[in-house]
Each structure stands twice: as structure tokens, then as C-alpha cells.
Structure 1
């Protein structure tokens, strides 16, 4: 009921502001997988940026900032991105997902995925109130946020959060920018792996969260972008994921740049990183 009231307030704001913004609790009641009561700052949230009615096209993107699963680059890989998408008529939702911690979770490896599933469940269930097409809701993730986005896009068949309504948890598309994809030692970003899985994860956990191994023909169409000189996340993360998508005949675009290092989209004008993404969405029928 509380989230319904907040959503209604937000929806009313859209007609009067060029940029509607509201921070909603991701879970209206208890938070799954939590072993302690979280402080206000620790609680996962969904921050909504809705375009003005004249621009709205019904497409939505759920944004997962990076930060090696140790912190969130919430502004540069979250709110800045959301505002840019809203200006193009695309509703944007920034997820403040829980960072994996043994001190606050029963199993820290599933905490971020739970929040990602809850985020897409919330956005899709409230599509009418937000003037969205429930079949045009995708995700975008940066760095470790790209790992989370690709985990959501390859693990959607099993719900890790309560979902009695049986709402689809499958994104309709994925956009992955310099993403961590694999947990294999030859490819992974070590800091992200340790933060998510711990120092000595089981072989089963490593394989489960190596998303290049989890691709099927049902994996959503995917746009990937990376730099060859990325000194933090090996460019081969994007390459192996693209190859897995190709093997399973999933629509995919891979944009590689020779130079730019990690986080290169933060240093480019918005048009340079956004236009290729919009082109991909148009070709996939996600934008008119």
C-alpha cells in the first residue's frame, strides 16, 4: 500500500515537471536474505526518473551502477545516466542495491541479484501507473553493475524474491558497459569476485555467477561496449559473453574501442555513448 501511494504521487508529478524524481523503498515490507535490521542508508531503493508526457515512449531502463560490489558509483553511473535517458523519453530507474556483506546477509552472493529481481518486478508490475510498455523494460549496468545486469538477464527463470504474482523477471534487453562477466580467475575482476563470492568460493558458485556459461537462447538481446586497453576489467569479459550470445543465436552488438580505459563513458559527451545504444534499441524494436 505504501509503495502504491508513492507511485501515485510520482505519476501525478509527471504532468507538471520536466524531470520527475522519487526515491522508493525497493521492498515495501521485510527485506529478504537480511539477518539484521538495515539502517536507512543501507536499505535498497529505486530512484525513478520519468520523462515528460510529450517525450515518453513507453520504454524503460533499470540502471545498476558499478563499484566492484564494494561501493556504488551512484552519480556517474546512475543518476547522470538516468537523466540522459529521461531526456530521450525513456523512463529510467536507478537501483541502490545492497552490497554483499556476510555481516548483514545469510548468503551475500545472492543479495544483489535479489535486489535486481525485485527492481524489475516492481517496474513491470507498475507499468500502467508509470505509462510503460511492460514488454520494453530493459537493464543497463556498468562494470560490476554490468555483472549484476547480466546475472539478472541469465538467471531470470528462478525467482529469488517472493513473486506470487508470477511477474516475468526477464529483461527485454540488456546494455552492458565495460562489464565484469566472468568469475573465472583468468577473466574476472578480482575485487568484484571477492566482494561477491568471498576468498574461497566453491566451483559451483564460480560457475553459477560466470554469466558467459549461463547464456541460453532465451537470454535478452544485448548491447556490449568496452575498451581494449581497459586496465581494470579485461575486455575479454565482453568478448566471451558476445560469443556465447552468438552461439545461442541471441541478437547482440559489440562495440570495442582501442583506447579509453575503464569507465570511458564517463569522460565522453552524452551523445557519443548514447546514440549507439539508442540505435540498438531501435533495431530491436524497443524504440519507435
Structure 2
């Protein structure tokens, strides 16, 4: 993992290759490289908080703009550093994107002082399949890879047939996934009393990733006494990200901002 310290006052936006000398857990595609795009707020505005952002795309591609880079101004204006992760596609090897997301979390913590970030205030965010990756890191990872909070947009949570997003399931675990792997990566079943707090948003009319994914995750957080905030909008379908065409765009941003200011 490339651990290069940058001065926050010298450079506010830059990109980095995540792995310096070969990435672990190959997916068989040598052209598929992991990167992070780092957006730092001004020194004056910086609160020390940061969020690693995992765009969605069904574990077959990435919506890098409206579920990734275009979120940077929102967070930077709140004094929060935004680190957008271009993770590798699993192609049936779950360890590929998981190792990338864990490495991104560790990278931010390793550069916390030079990026004007507090090492105990680093969250993870994900949309759709990126929400599954984010919730996987929140429920499975430990040490420097474990986030302090999580933000999930219309997330894929379960790998259970009939409830999961089948494309994400097949790309992550394979079409003939073992039942024990489906259970292991059904992240509602992996919530414990040390899972980080969460903000979850989705639409009631989502026909791509059924709402029970995010709702069941919230219920498990509640059952384990983990602070959670669930927002179900009447319409919008799936994949709206930060698009202003989403009918509840302004309300959603205000609710997210209020939650981020609550702790």
C-alpha cells in the first residue's frame, strides 16, 4: 500500500494508486487497478473528520461521479475530507474489493496527521453494491480498517437469494455461491454491539435493491443498541446518488448534514 504523506496546505485534490507493488487477491484482470481520489477541505474549515466513499455499480462497474466524486463538495463544505475509492471488481473473489476498501481506510489513518484528519473520526460510505462493501467493512473489519461511522444509500445488505440484488451476489460470490458465504456476507446477520453508527437512506419504490435490505440492517442495529438513522423516501427508485433530479435531494442533504453534526 502506498503511504505517501501530502501537506494539506500544499495540495487539496489529488489521486493515488492504492497498491504500490502489486495488489493482493487477484481478480484475473491486470488492468483493473485500485485508486483513491482525495479531496481535502481548507485548513481553516477542516473538522478532522473524513469519509471513504465506495460508489456502486453491482460489483461489475463503478458510478464514480454521482455516487463518488460529486459528493466531495458537500463534505468539504462541512469541513470533512472525502476520499473516493475506485475499488477493483471481485469477479467472484470477495477478497478483492474488501482488501481495497480496508487498504483505503488504513491509508487515510496512516496519513491522518498530514491530511489534517483525526484517526478516530473516519467513516465509510457506499451506495448500492458500494453500500454492501461499506457495510462489509463496518461489520467484518477491525483495527485501522474499521470505520467510526457508516453512511449507506439504497444498500445491498443481504446475499440471501430472493432478497439480494442478484447481479451483485453473482459478481461478488459467484452464481454457485456456498450457503455459508451467503450468510457470512449478509451483513444484517453480522451486526454486533461494536458495529459503528449508521445513516441509511433509500426509496420505498426501489425495485432494483428491495428496501428490506436497508430496513433489516437498521433493525439489527437497533436490536444491538447501535445508533442508527433510517430515511425512507416515498419515491425515487434506485441509484439517485447526489443527482438534483432526485425529488427529495435537498431534504436528503439536510438530513445527512444534521446527522453528521449530531456526533
How far off is 1:242 after superposition?
A: 0.5
- TM-aligned CA distance change 1:89 to 1:271, over 3 Å: farther
The counterpart of 1:171, out of the listed 147, 151, 163, is: 147
The counterpart of 2:251, out of the listed 252, 258, 272, is: 272
2:3 pairs with 1:13: no
2:17 pairs with 1:25: yes
- In structure 1, what is the equivalent of residue 177 of structure 2? 201
The separation in 2 between residues aligned to 1:259 and 1:137, in whole angstroms, is 31
How far off is 1:35 after superposition?
A: 6.6
Give the conservation status (yes or no) of the 8 Å contact 2:2–2:17. no
- TM-aligned CA distance change 1:209 to 1:43, over 3 Å: same
Task: Give ranges in structure 1 of 5+ residues lacking alignment.
Answer: 15-19, 103-107, 158-166
- TM-aligned CA distance change 1:35 to 1:113, over 3 Å: closer
- TM-aligned CA distance change 1:123 to 1:186, over 3 Å: same
- TM-aligned CA distance change 1:74 to 1:2, over 3 Å: closer
2:106 pairs with 1:121: yes
RMSD (Å), alpha carbons: 1.8
Task: Give ranges in structure 2 of 5+ residues lacking alignment.
Answer: none
The separation in 2 between residues aligned to 1:2 and 1:96, in whole angstroms, is 15
The separation in 2 between residues aligned to 1:13 and 1:205, in whole angstroms, is 45
Kindly tell me the number of residue pairs found equivalent between the two proteins. Answer: 260
The counterpart of 1:38, out of the listed 19, 30, 51, is: 30
TM-score, length-scaled by structure 1: 0.86
2:38 pairs with 1:48: yes
- In structure 2, what is the equivalent of residue 65 of structure 1? 55
Give the conservation status (yes or no) of the 8 Å contact 2:36–2:84. yes
Give the conservation status (yes or no) of the 8 Å contact 1:150–1:181. yes
TM-score, length-scaled by structure 2: 0.93
Write 1 or 2 for the structure with the bigger share of helix. Answer: 1
2:237 pairs with 1:233: no
